[in-house]
Amino acid sequence: MKVSIVIPVYNVEKYLSRLLECVQNQSFKDFEAIIVNDGSTDQSLSVIEPFLTDRRFSVITTPNRGLASARNKGIETAKGEYIYFLDSDDLIAPNLIEILVDQFNKDNSIDVVAFSCKDFYDEPAEIGNTRIDQREAIDDHEVLLRIINGNFPLTAWSYFTKRRIFLDNQISFPDGRLFEDESTTVKLYGYIKKIIYLTFDDDQPGYFYRKNRPDSIMNKFNKQATPQAIEDRKYYMKIQHVIFTNQLGKDLADTHYFNELTSIYRKSADSLKATDPKYYDELRHDIYAEAINLLSDSQLKLTYGRRWKLFKIRYDWLRKLSEVGVKMIGK
């Protein structure tokens, strides 16, 4: 078995059939499609059943434990040389897997092939073969630099890799947490040496990413900050901070961590203050204390910009005043 495609499924009856058709019609045939039905309560399982006549398709039904658990079950079950995590509400080009496998056939020293996507709102009538617009070889240091600067995808569906990297390094997705692919992807990239990044032709995309699903995890938690979302974000930041420190050096890692820490407060303050004032106060004090400790334990200078960020956390009225000032300037 060459490729294991892991497809977590939870209540996606509306989108699932077309995604499974995309998989079934791949030009590359030597794959297994492991569908993990994560306790769906809609008709997703009924949508899956006709595809099981194709021996390459199998389904595992589990109690609902979330996306991370479903992906981990896929890793545990997979037999392929390569593994790919595919979201059940998206779409892929008929030759996507063929192109990804071909990169490894050309150069087996590659550890990961990552690639671009195209966002979509309206279902495309037809999906044709994709075409590579640009191919770029990147080493481990460069890919982490791009991640730290926000210039590289961290979603689980954005890369195709050797399954043994997950097994040899005991990489798994953290159960019960939101945004679980972010820390897992950074962990993966912390163990690799060579990555190929493919940019597909925008008119002939390889991966179609659905943006208009109202009940998706990202849509739910982009609308309103919640204690769980924030605590999970802080958890991932700490994992990433360790990896960035080891691979890129303490100064760069500390700078990134400080900026991310203060950004959490800035982005969530108004929503939390209205919905959970007790947690808001706890978060504000915790972030301020952690930021101060970080500065005292590192070589980072207390610049004017950092001092201003800390003041706005410690004194909430100052944050509101600065926001009013920005709005007045904008007018």
Backbone phi and psi for residue 215, each to the nearest 5 degrees, phi listed first: -100, 15
- 325 versus 248: which is more confidently predicted? 248
Q: Which amino acid is at 68?
A: A
Beta bridge partners of 211: none
Q: What is the pLDDT of residue 123?
A: 83
**C-alpha angle 243/80/35, rounded to 5°?**
90
pLDDT exceeds 80 at position 324: no
* Strand runs labelled E in 194-282: 194-200, 207-210
How much is the average pLDDT of 21-45?
98
Q: What is the pLDDT of residue 80?
A: 98
pLDDT exceeds 50 at position 129: yes
Beta bridge partners of 34: 6, 58
Q: Among all chains, which residue has been given the structure tokens 């060579």?
A: 194
How much is the average pLDDT of 266-281?
90
Q: Among all chains, which residue has been given the structure tokens 């203060």?
A: 262
Q: What is the pLDDT of residues 55-103, one digit of tens each?
A: 999 999 999 999 999 999 999 999 999 999 999 999 999 999 999 999 9
Q: What is the pLDDT of residues 135-144, one digit of tens each?
A: 999 999 999 9
Quick one: CA dihedral 181, 185, 188, 190, positive or negative?
negative
Q: What is the pLDDT of residue 309?
A: 87
Q: Answer yes or no: are the C-beta atoms of 185 and 131 closer than 8 Å.
A: no
| Cα–Cα distance for residue pair 271/241, rounded to 1 Å | 26
C-alpha distance across the termini of the chain, in Å: 61
Q: Answer yes or no: are the C-beta atoms of 47 and 54 closer than 8 Å.
A: no
Q: What is the pLDDT of residues 142-171, one digit of tens each?
A: 999 999 999 999 999 999 999 999 999 999
Q: What is the pLDDT of residues 200-238, one digit of tens each?
A: 999 999 999 998 655 554 444 444 689 999 999 999 999
Model confidence at 329, in pLDDT bands (50, 70, 90)?
A: very low
Q: What is the pLDDT of residues 2-11, one digit of tens each?
A: 999 999 999 9
Residue 52 structure tokens: 């099981």
Q: List Cβ<8 Å contacts ≥24 apart for 137-143.
A: 137/194, 137/195, 137/196, 138/194, 138/195, 138/196, 138/197, 139/193, 139/194, 139/195, 140/189, 140/190, 140/192, 140/193, 140/194, 140/195, 140/247, 141/247, 141/248, 143/189, 143/192, 143/195
39: left (phi > 0), else alpha (psi -120 to 50), else beta?
A: left
pLDDT exceeds 90 at position 303: no
What integer best gives the mean pLDDT of the chain?
Answer: 90
* Share above pLDDT 70 across residues of the chain, in percent, rounded to a whole number: 92
Cβ-Cβ contacts under 8 Å for 72 (sequence gap 6 or more): 172, 173, 175
Task: Say if strands 57-62 and 31-38 run parallel, antiparallel, or are unpaired.
Answer: parallel
Q: What is the pLDDT of residue 247?
A: 94
pLDDT exceeds 60 at position 32: yes
